A and B are shown apart, each in its own frame.
Chain A
Amino acid sequence: AQSVTQLDSQVPVFEEAPVELRCNYSSSVSVYLFWYVQYPNQGLQLLLKYLSGSTLVKGINGFEAEFNKSQTSFHLRKPSVHISDTAEYFCAVLTNYGQNFVFGPGTRLSVLP
C-alpha cells in the first residue's frame, strides 16, 4: 500500500522569502504525484501534478515541484512567497493502475509580513 509523509506540519516564512515543502512517499509500484492547496474554509485546488516526462513540474501561482524517484520525494518550492500563499498544502499519490488517492497529512504554510 502507498503512504505519504509530509515532514513539516507547519512552516512559517517571511514574505518574499523562498520556501520548500517536503513530501516523501512509499510505494512498490510506479506512482503519479500531486500537490493540492486548501485556502481557509474552502475545498482543495490542484497546484501541479507529475504523471510522466520531465521530473521538474511547474504549476499555478509560481509553484514548482521536482520528482526524485531514487529518494521517493516530490518537494514543492516557490522562490518568493506572498501573504496570499498562506494555506494548507497537501501532497497526494496515486498508483498508475488505481483510482485510489492517498493524501499526506498536510503542511500549514504561514507567510508573515
Chain B
Amino acid sequence: NAGVTQTPKFQVLKTGQSMTLQCAQDMNHEYMSWYRQDPGMGLRLIHYSVGAGITDQGEVPNGYNVSRSTTEDFPLRLLSAAPSQTSVYFCASSYLGATDTQYFGPGTRLTVL
C-alpha cells in the first residue's frame, strides 16, 4: 500500500491564481480530511468527508472547495489564492471516522506571492 499520497510537494502561486492539491489513499478509508499547518497554531481542519459524495466544512473552510467523487480521492481546490493561504497542507484518512487512527500524507508546502 502507498498509504496517503499528496501532490505536489511544493507549489508557488501568484495572488489570484487557482490550483488543486491532490490527495489519494489506497486503504479503502471512508473518512478523509484536509488540514493546514501554520507556525504556532497547530493544525486546523479545512474540510472533511465521511464517504464518497459527502463533504462538510471544518474550522477554516473559506477560500477552499472540496469534492469526493470516489472513495480514493479527495482534492482540495483554491479558487483564488491569497497570501494568507501560504501554509503547509496535510491530507489524512481513517477507516471509519474521526475516532479511528488518522494516517497523514507527507504534506504540500504552498507559497502565495
Binding site for B on A (CB under 8 A): 4, 9, 32, 42-46, 49, 51, 90, 92, 94, 98-106
* Of the residues B33, B42, B101, B107, contact of A90 by C-beta under 8 Å: B42
Chain A: minimal CB distance from B84 (Å): 18
Q: Is the CB of A44 within 8 A of B59?
A: no
Q: Is the CB of A42 within 8 A of B106?
A: yes
A103 and B101 CA atoms in complex are apart in Å by 15
Q: Is the CB of B90 within 8 A of A44?
A: yes
Total contacts A-B at CB 8 Å: 56
Known A94-B99, A99-B50: A105·B90 in contact at CB below 8 Å = no
Chain A: minimal CB distance from B37 (Å): 9
Q: Is B67 an interface residue (CB 8 A)?
A: no
Q: Is the CB of B31 within 8 A of A99?
A: yes
Residues in B whose Cβ lies below 8 Å from that of A106: 40, 42
* Chain B contacts with A in 55-113, Cβ cutoff 8 A: 56, 58-59, 90, 92, 97-99, 101-102, 104-107
Chain B: minimal CB distance from A44 (Å): 5
Q: Is the CB of B99 within 8 A of A32?
A: yes
* Of the residues A32, A43, A99, A102, contact of B107 by C-beta under 8 Å: A43
- 9 tightest A-B contacts by CB? A43-B104, A103-B42, A103-B43, A99-B98, A44-B104, A105-B42, A46-B101, A106-B42, A94-B98
* Chain B contacts with A in 4-55, Cβ cutoff 8 A: 4, 31, 33, 35, 40-45, 48, 50
Known A44-B43, A106-B42: A100·B106 in contact at CB below 8 Å = no
Chain A: minimal CB distance from B27 (Å): 14
Q: Which residue of B lies closest to A43 (CB)?
A: B104
Q: Contacts A32-B99, A99-B97, A103-B43 given; 13 further ones with Cβ under 8 A?
A: A4-B42, A42-B107, A43-B104, A44-B92, A44-B102, A99-B31, A101-B33, A101-B45, A102-B45, A102-B59, A103-B42, A105-B40, A105-B42
